[in-house]
Structure 1
Amino acid sequence: MYLPKGKFTQTEDESMTEKQRKQIKSQLPQGEKIDRMYTAFEGGIRMITKNAAGFETRYNVSFDADDNASIKKF
């Protein structure tokens, strides 16, 4: 599903805490950076990262009962 950049996407989800952002960033492979995040149509948060070569990887972001964030390749 394609969503153009703009009001539908954002670089970091505003509903996440700083702790959750740090947890997500620590789980990324070395050299990958968050490009954008968005709320999925089905619910939940999707994240797109780029590596140094510019290739994109998509992840689902999930939260456990203690509100800890984890990512899984889409």
Structure 2
Amino acid sequence: MPARPGAISERWVRRLTMCDPTAAHVVLAQGEKAEALFIDPLTGMPVMRTVGHDSKPVWRFHAPLSLPAGDAGG
């Protein structure tokens, strides 16, 4: 049975850890105000959440250059 839409992204968001801003978060922000800042503990990738025009959360991140071997936290 295929996963329902959004199931993987929802698991990923639950994995994120809130953190203090880093230089990488500043690059992600591109001058916009962050609602919250996170780090993906599996990849070390910085993530930020902003509020979109329709008040829904917008997630900003760069794709990691590599992923850990094995289960990848799933």
TM over 0.5: no
Q: TM-score, normalised by structure 1?
A: 0.43
Give the number of the structure whose residues are more often strand, by fraction.
1
Q: TM-score, normalised by structure 2?
A: 0.43
